[in-house]
């Protein structure tokens, strides 16, 4: 199961490690701890290259390279409640589920791609939306996230009075109405028009404005269904 986490502070990994392995272009480096089992490192590196390629095609954004992929054995994993995490040293994955954990590969790569450039209130929910509605179906042929999108869209239509504690179903309902590609248009407009910098995210008002232009209509009526909307100047 995909469990998203915010970017964590940098933590030194326990030493020693196995020999690192890099992709041919040097953009991805696999860093296993001593007893971490990586049965097919080539497939892992290839999977990450495909995610990065789809990110560039879809929204024009990519993480800063090289990306270090830390594969951590169970005895060295820092928190049993974490499925995966990322920080300025790369992304960190659990060795025992590595080869079936493409959801978290994609999720943490998206955090690295954003690098604090997206409004913080939107970051985690947009990471989920892109992971389940774009990267997983287009890179790994897993379309299960569309069920959540359709359910969110149906709930929005049938219960117009309902408010939501989380932004996640709101973004899924927007994708159901306008198609997941709305978020690719949004990212391309943000990059072209606003030039966001790492740890200097676009403002809430800019977010609502650019997303509305990507949709071709005002999306604030959707965003107002999120209970946190009033806390931000949109």
Residue 5, pLDDT > 50, answer no
**Whose CA is closest to 104, among 125, 128, 122, 121?**
128
Residues 205-233, mean pLDDT to the nearest whole number: 96
Could you write out the three-class secondary structure of 193-231? HHCCECCECCCHHHHHHHHHHHHCCCCHHHHCCECCHHH
User: Same structural domain for residues 157 and 108?
Assistant: no
Comparing 9-23, 84-98, 119-133, 157-171, the range with the smallest average pLDDT is 9-23
Q: How far apart are CA 186 and CA 189, in angstroms?
A: 5
**pLDDT-derived band of residue 2, with 50, 70 and 90 as boundaries?**
very low
User: Same structural domain for residues 136 and 222?
Assistant: yes
The rounded percent of the chain whose pLDDT value lies above 90 is 88
**Are residues 233 and 204 in contact, defined by beta-carbon separation less than 8 angstroms?**
yes
Q: How many separate domains does the chain show?
A: 2
Q: Say if 12 falls within a structural domain.
A: no
User: Same structural domain for residues 44 and 109?
Assistant: yes
Q: How far apart are CA 76 and CA 130, in angstroms?
A: 30
User: Same structural domain for residues 124 and 217?
Assistant: yes
Domain that holds residue 140: 120-231
Q: Say if 3 falls within a structural domain.
A: no
The domain boundary residue, chosen from 99, 114, 129: 114
User: Same structural domain for residues 138 and 224?
Assistant: yes
Residues 179-197, mean pLDDT to the nearest whole number: 96
User: Same structural domain for residues 55 and 38?
Assistant: yes
Residues 197-217, mean pLDDT to the nearest whole number: 95
- Average pLDDT over the chain, rounded to an integer: 92
pLDDT computed for residue 17 by the predictor: 67
Paired with 30 in beta bridges are: 21, 69
**pLDDT-derived band of residue 1, with 50, 70 and 90 as boundaries?**
very low
**pLDDT-derived band of residue 6, with 50, 70 and 90 as boundaries?**
very low
Residues 130-159, mean pLDDT to the nearest whole number: 97
User: Same structural domain for residues 107 and 172?
Assistant: no
User: Same structural domain for residues 34 and 133?
Assistant: no
pLDDT computed for residue 170 by the predictor: 98
Q: What is the pLDDT of residues 22-80, one digit of tens each?
A: 999 999 999 999 999 899 999 999 999 999 999 999 999 999 999 999 999 999 999 99
How many Cβ atoms sit within 10 Å of the Cβ of residue 66?
14
CA angle 134, 139, 141 (to 5 degrees): 90
User: Same structural domain for residues 210 and 137?
Assistant: yes
Residue 19, pLDDT > 90, answer no
What dihedral do alpha carbons 87, 93, 99, 105 form, nearest 10°?
-20
Q: How far is CA 19 from CA 31, 32, 112, in A?
A: 7, 8, 24
Q: How far apart are CA 213 and CA 85, in angstroms?
A: 32
Give the CATH number of the domain where residue 95 resides.
Answer: 3.40.30.160
Q: What is the pLDDT of residues 79-100, one digit of tens each?
A: 999 999 999 999 999 999 999 9
pLDDT computed for residue 4 by the predictor: 46
pLDDT computed for residue 199 by the predictor: 84
User: Same structural domain for residues 77 and 50?
Assistant: yes
Q: Say if 13 falls within a structural domain.
A: no
Q: Say if 179 falls within a structural domain.
A: yes
User: Same structural domain for residues 36 and 132?
Assistant: no
Q: Say if 9 falls within a structural domain.
A: no
């Amino acid at each position: 199961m995909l469990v998203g986490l915010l970017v964590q502070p940098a933590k030194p990994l326990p030493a020693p490690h196995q020999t690192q392995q890099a992709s041919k272009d040097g953009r991805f480096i696999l860093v296993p701890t001593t007893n971490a089992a990586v049965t097919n490192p080539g497939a892992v590196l290839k999977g990450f290259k495909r995610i990065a390629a789809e990110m560039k095609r879809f929204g024009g954004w990519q993480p800063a390279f090289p990306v270090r992929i830390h594969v951590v054995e169970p005895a060295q994993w820092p928190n049993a409640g974490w499925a995966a995490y990322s920080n300025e040293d790369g992304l960190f994955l659990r060795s025992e589920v590595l080869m079936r954990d493409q959801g978290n590969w994609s999720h943490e790569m998206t955090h690295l791609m954003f690098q604090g450039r997206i409004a913080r209130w939107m970051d985690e929910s947009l990471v989920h939306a892109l992971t389940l509605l774009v990267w997983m179906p287009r890179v790994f042929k897993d379309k299960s996230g569309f069920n959540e999108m359709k359910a969110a869209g149906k709930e929005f239509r049938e219960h117009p009075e309902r408010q939501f504690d989380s932004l996640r179903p709101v973004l899924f309902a927007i994708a159901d109405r306008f198609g997941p590609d709305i978020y690719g248009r949004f990212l391309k407009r943000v990059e072209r028009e606003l030039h966001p910098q790492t740890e200097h995210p676009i403002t809430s008002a800019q977010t609502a404005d650019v997303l509305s232009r990507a949709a071709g209509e005002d999306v604030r009526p959707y965003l107002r269904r999120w209970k946190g909307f009033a806390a931000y100047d949109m």
